[in-house]
Amino acid sequence: MSQVNSVIVVGSSAAGVSCIRQLRNGGFTGSIRLVDKDKHGAYERPPLSKQVLINPQLKSDDISLVSGEELAELNIDSYFGDKVTNILPDLRKVIFESGKEFVADAIVIATGGEARRLPIEGSNLPHVFVLRHFQDAINLRQKLLPGSCVAVIGGGFIGAETSASLSKLGVSVHWLNAAELPLSHLLPRELCEKIVANHCADGLNLITNCRINKFVEQADGSISILFSDDTETLNVDAVVLGVGMSPETPYFSDHVSAKVLNKAMGGIEVNESQETQYPGIYAAGDVAAVIQSDGSVLRHGHWQSAQYQGERTAASILNKSLPAKPVDWFWSDQGDLHIEMAGEILPTEQHLVVRHEGDWPVYFSVLDNRVVGAVSVNNPNAVRAAMRMIKNAVNIEPSQLADTDLSLRKLMRG
């Protein structure tokens, strides 16, 4: 596109903050506006289900992605607490709930997503919580007292993290999952069984294979969970939904939505330069559905991917070479367990190599004598080694990976 002298970044997410930093680091001297509907501004999302719940003294500034001082140093104008209601891509105009309007040469949409709510009766009751914003965590924390009883619904990372955190607060936790085994759609089954057993040993009450019919608010403010199979009703003081996230794209007209939204994946469809069909309009992070070189579309929901896409967007705006794609990496803190993943964990057992070192085995996914993925618990160095193997396409025999007499440091060199 032509010379860019002004940029608006909608969303103070990891992708949005990464983009503004990279713009300045890349020599951009034009105006940059960072806007977000959240009055708390730019902060990390991962601590919401962990540190923010556990530590009542923690404030949004303690988990900030970028401080006010840094914004001033980078000469960024920030506008927090005013919701974007419309984006007009042809005019490159952003319209706010307050009536304010901004126009820029480039607009970056980095709004992330909103937590899903179950499509059932009672899902929007006051004491049915989600954890997507800082205020969500504060609202939940204020509801809880020692001895409170909470149901956490969802067998993914958010459900596991929240359940483990609440258990540390002395709260009675019922962890509900529609499937037989939580986390099994994300991690090797053997590892899931061990993680779940660890959580249950810490006092969580796991309820699996359950279908919820509705939530009913009682006169004292508590919630009754009614199951679809007419099993006994579960009564709790609060419910936390950890059932996924939907990309936040409510600000386009129907005409624009038809052009930019990806119906299958959700999110805003962009090319590998993070640009939409509208020149000068970009999307990065959880909200971006990226068309790959083979025509497939991927939408990532991880912090590292959001940071990288923000950097790639900045490079596109500056008309510079795109940064090299890093090996996918993700982490999850669940109580005393620190889980790290890299690359892709293949679903088939024949590609799984288990390395028994320490209290927790390391699991590698291997394809044609190449490591393509790895996951560890309380052993981040193992995943770091795997990331080097993945990046450098190291040829390695599966038996060598399983042999603890051979150091991973040596194996990662090939």
Residue 340: partners with Cβ closer than 8 Å, 6 or more residues away:
329, 330, 331, 375, 376, 379, 380, 383
* Domains defined for the chain, CATH in brackets: 6-114+246-317 (3.50.50.60), 128-243 (3.50.50.60), 336-411 (3.30.390.30)
Q: Is the pLDDT confidence value at 1 over 60? A: no
**pLDDT tens column, 354-392:** 999 889 999 999 999 999 999 999 999 999 999 999 999
Q: What is the pLDDT of residue 43?
A: 95
Q: What is the pLDDT of residue 107?
A: 98
Q: What is the pLDDT of residue 336?
A: 94
**pLDDT tens column, 72-116:** 999 999 999 999 999 999 999 999 999 999 999 999 999 999 999
Q: Is the pLDDT confidence value at 245 over 70? A: yes
**pLDDT tens column, 298-352:** 898 888 999 999 999 999 999 999 999 999 999 999 999 999 999 998 877 778 9
Q: What mean pLDDT is predicted for residues 185-209?
A: 95
Q: Is the pLDDT confidence value at 295 over 90? A: no
Top-confidence residue, 413 or 29: 29
- Its pTM stands at 0.93
Rounded Cα distance between 74 and 96, Å, is 24
What's the chain's average pLDDT? 94
Phi, psi of 315, rounded to the nearest 5 degrees: -60, -40
| CA-closest candidate to residue 347, choices 199, 224, 192 | 192
Q: What mean pLDDT is predicted for residues 41-69?
A: 93
Residues in the chain: 414
Q: How many angstroms separate the Cα of 228 from the Cα of each of 54, 206, 214, 223, 285?
A: 33, 18, 8, 16, 36
Q: Is the pLDDT confidence value at 48 over 60? A: yes
Top-confidence residue, 351 or 31: 31
